[in-house]
């Protein structure tokens, strides 16, 4: 099971041009040996561009069946702690991954939900986001074709539309 998971994980990630095939194989084998030996493993998995390919419209980048299958198998592995990290909203992560026993980090680290918890922690309670409204006005003045529906009052830490 560990070997299958490692092979699947490698096939879903975008290869880093700076890592040779031999180095990638070495990393994969190292993780598989650690899992097989019963060692505790922590996996920190980015969502957009790693678990799920980048989509032109971010709203359509829901987890695919192969990603869901991989995450289900990950959740069944003992001694493997998974953290999914994303710039997406906690609502997106909760909808997609809320049933998994994973740590979820949303909004570029501003919110965190521990495995099994129902409540999200706001890690940015002391941050003042008043600058967002001014920045959005500047971007709109400069005719950037992004951020048309951004509302700093409801979007929390995110500027939800991206230049693609």
- Under the banding of pLDDT at 50, 70 and 90, the label for residue 164 is very low
CATH number at residue 102: 3.40.50.1000
- The full 3-state SS of 18-55, as one line of letters, equals CCCHHHHHHHHHHHHHHHHCCCCEEEEEECECCCECCC
Host domain of residue 133: 129-164
pTM over 0.75: no
154 and 110 in a common domain? no
Mean pLDDT of the chain: 79
34 and 111 in a common domain? yes
74-92 residue pLDDT tens:
999 889 999 999 989 999 9
The total number of structural domains that make up the chain: 2
Does residue 112 register a pLDDT over 80? yes
70 and 148 in a common domain? no
Q: Give the residue among 47, 45, 43 at the shortest CA–CA distance from 35.
A: 43
Q: How far apart are CA 17 and CA 145, in angstroms?
A: 31
Does residue 68 register a pLDDT over 90? yes
137 and 106 in a common domain? no
């Amino acid at each position: 099971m560990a070997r299958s998971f490692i092979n699947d994980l490698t096939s879903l990630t975008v290869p880093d041009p700076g890592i040779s095939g031999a180095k990638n194989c070495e990393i994969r084998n190292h993780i598989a040996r650690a899992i097989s030996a019963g060692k505790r493993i922590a996996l920190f998995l980015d969502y957009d561009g790693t678990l799920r390919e980048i989509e032109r419209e971010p709203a359509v980048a829901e987890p695919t069946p192969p990603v869901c299958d991989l995450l289900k198998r990950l959740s069944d592995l003992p001694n493997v702690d998974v953290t999914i990290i994303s710039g997406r909203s906690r609502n997106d992560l909760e909808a997609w991954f809320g049933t998994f026993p994973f740590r979820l980090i949303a909004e570029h680290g501003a919110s965190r939900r521990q495995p099994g918890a129902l409540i999200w922690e706001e890690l940015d309670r002391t941050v003042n986001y008043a600058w967002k409204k001014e920045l959005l006005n500047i971007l709109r003045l400069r005719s950037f074709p992004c951020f048309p529906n951004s509302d700093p009052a409801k979007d929390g830490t995110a500027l939800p539309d991206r230049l693609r």
